Amino acid sequence: MPRPEIRRRLSSEEMRSRILAAAAAEFARNGFDRTSLDEVAAAAGFTKGAVYSRFSSKDELFFALLEEQVIGRIAAAKTALERSMDDAGGPHPAAAIGRQINDALVSEQDWQILFVEFWLRVVRDPRIAEQFRVLRRQLRQTIADFVEAEALRRNLTLRISPYEMGIVALALSNGLSIEEIPDQGTVQSDLFGRILQLACAPDEEDVNPAS
């Protein structure tokens, strides 16, 4: 007689990951406003209680997804930089990051649509606006710290401050997605990198100082 299958008990982190993956899929399929936590629970294969014990609202789910996106994209940017550093004849570091971000614009369009949808909620609902502001400020500072460290390591001259680079990178990412998603192929794959590279290039007087 065959033994009954023994299911391994999922860890808390594994359950959280499954819930977030289900939330991202359901939000993308039905829209943020039209998706309930009950539907997320069903898609994840858990009871409603399992989801509610970790996330008390859809807003909490979105903020968790936002943090996950941030961690993933910064890790991908670091990988792109390391590859460009290993390749002596490779692209400028800004071009390498630009290419990686452009790839994300193409491959993660569901996330970009969800972000815009949630952004509309933020500007209309002061109850969640402050949490969003705090997270975005932290994100801009994280990017700034990353840019500053890489500029020092690679001896790059920045035309704008690292914090301003964070603002520009986020604004470009979101703005270019608005142009690209409804009209595929509008944004050239190297455009993001070329713009970032301009912000890293030295001023003309630095290249050709007055005699």
Full-model pTM: 0.78
The pLDDT profile of the chain, 211 residues, written as one tens digit per residue, is 554 444 567 888 899 999 999 999 999 889 999 999 999 999 999 998 999 999 989 999 999 998 888 888 888 877 877 776 655 555 677 787 888 888 887 888 889 999 999 999 999 999 899 999 999 999 899 889 988 988 888 788 889 999 999 899 899 989 999 999 999 999 998 898 888 888 876 554 444 444 3
Q: What is the CA radius of gyration of the chain?
A: 21
80 within 8 A of 96, measured Cβ to Cβ: yes
- DSSP string covering 161-173: -HHHHHHHHHHHH
Name residues whose C-beta falls within 8 Å of residue 139's C-beta, 6 or more positions apart in sequence. Answer: 70, 166, 170
Q: How far apart are the first and last CA of the chain?
A: 92
Neighbours of 121 (CB within 10 A): 17
What is the sign of the dihedral through the CA atoms of 68, 74, 78 and 81?
A: positive
- Helix (H) / strand (E) containing 135: helix 126-154
